[in-house]
Structure 1
Amino acid sequence: MLDMRSKVAKWMGLCFNAFKCATLHINCRKKSNILDSTITIQGKQMRCLKDGESYLHLGMSTDHWAKQMSEETICGIVQDAHKLDLSLLVP
């Protein structure tokens, strides 16, 4: 699937930033279900998440168990609101 997306993106003149990407390869048939894999997009290797690692996407932590650190999330919202309050862009 990634190969086809890579071809279509190249045809459209777009490229993926593999540095900003991460993968999580799961095999539900094994006891240790998170696999260490090498996955590439447009010839560049993406980071493969390990068990317990999370990925920050649009400010939200995403991991295998879809856990959210509620205190961490709330602190982030408060910090963002404070930044908006100090910004000259907001009336």
Structure 2
Amino acid sequence: MLTNKVFIERLYEGSTIDCKSEIDDIVDAIIEEYHANEICIGEVIGSLCIHGASIEDVAIIYAKVYSKIEEDKVIRITDSDEVNLAEDYD
């Protein structure tokens, strides 16, 4: 659970999407927004701002959204390991 109260703002409308402060709930809210509109996921992501989440949390949310919608894999590479952000940060 994220430590702050989180809400998602639709930047071009000024309206908000309420969601619980859980990464998976935020991911689900973004995917719902994607299905409610006839635009690509990149445009949806570009039109939203997540208030109350850290940069790390947003990176994980981004990875999970793209994993579910496009089956993409976002990885973090270290000297000894590859970490799949969508799977390894549950």
TM-score by length of structure 1 reads: 0.26
Name which one, 1 or 2, has greater alpha-carbon Rg: 1
